[in-house]
Amino acid sequence: MSLSLLVSSPASPTPFPRVLPERPLRAVLLGCGTVGGGVLDGIRQSLAGDVTVEAILVSRHRKGRAPGRFFTEAESVFAAGPRLVIDCLPDGELAERLLELALQSGADIVSANKAVIARRPDVAVRARERGQILRFSAAVGGELPVLETVSRVRGEGRAILAVAGVVNGTSNFVLDRLAEGAGLDTAIRAAQALGFAEADPSADLEGRDAAAKLTLIARAAFGRDPDSVTLEAIDAGTPGRVREAAACGYRLRQIAILRATNAGVEASVSLTPRAPGDPLGDVRDEENAVRISCEGGDTILLTGRGAGREATASSVLSDIRAVIAARCGR
């Protein structure tokens, strides 16, 4: 990950009480797929003294998994009495219901689910009112600290005018494969094989994933959701557009844009040719790039991995460390 013109801010007092819970912190993990498995490995390797995962929710039992620790029933997982709920589930009704259970449990929450958090702004409000920590850095930009940077800039009183970037690593990977001559189905299968795309990649290809991320960024940057979001999908006609752009020396990219106007906050996700040397065009494969434009002409550029097991798990682990610091002072 690279950062340019990142501004620093003085540490502010945490709004959460330091309750000095028993150590290690009792946690439960919702989902143990690509991201959840990476988070579990990371806890074992670097947070074993701070966090212990007491129960793990999985879709089905598999050979080799320890009995009494892996469950297919949410009630059994929450019966462990967690102080921390780590949500690595895909979007859906189950994820939304379990996020509700996590709130009711009183536990702090770390989530990678941008769709549910974007769809349910009340979750953040209720968590704050109840004194629960809710962190979801992994929901936007993988290993890029997009939400943290936007919140820090706004907290300093600096106005953010626009945010633009490649915020979906799956689509970027697919577009690069198309540029190499692969067919759309082949490009999607390659992304799935590497863990960049879900079994159903439609949210990535249609721009809905990027739109959910724009909603979260808008809340951090402007304190409100976008008034409108326009979407343009990667579809059967996209390979031809990729070839046309390449013939002119350009790369086609799925660009997400958020802009403050006199009328409100506008957002769009569109396929746009980018010239050589443009950071938003130069990111390759699963990489992301986000440009934050501030009042006065200052620009902040963030680049790094935006999809895959390691990038997303790294961001979740960073949020877990932040919860430990807020609750235990380290």
Q: Which residues are catalytic?
A: 213
Asked whether 230 and 268 are in contact (CB, 8 A), the reply is yes
Q: How far is the C-alpha of 248 from the C-alpha of 35, rounded, in Å?
A: 38
Q: How far is the C-alpha of 134 from the C-alpha of 116, rounded, in Å?
A: 13
Count CB-CB contacts under 10 A for residue 259: 18
Q: How far is CA 314 from CA 40, 115, 308, in A?
A: 11, 19, 10
Q: Which residue has the tokens 């790369």?
A: 251
Q: Which residue has the tokens 């990476």?
A: 38
Q: How far is the C-alpha of 4 from the C-alpha of 172, rounded, in Å?
A: 22
Q: How far is the C-alpha of 54 from the C-alpha of 81, rounded, in Å?
A: 9
Long-range (24+ apart) CB contacts under 8 A made by 257-263 are 257/162, 257/163, 257/164, 257/214, 258/162, 258/163, 258/164, 258/214, 258/217, 258/218, 258/221, 258/226, 259/161, 259/162, 259/163, 260/160, 260/161, 260/162, 260/221, 260/222, 263/227
Q: How many helices (H) and strands (E) does the chain have?
A: 13, 13
Asked whether 213 and 207 are in contact (CB, 8 A), the reply is no
Enumerate residues 6+ apart whose C-beta is below 8 A from 13.
Answer: none
Count CB-CB contacts under 10 A for residue 117: 26
Count CB-CB contacts under 10 A for residue 70: 19
| Helix (H) / strand (E) containing 127 | helix 121-130
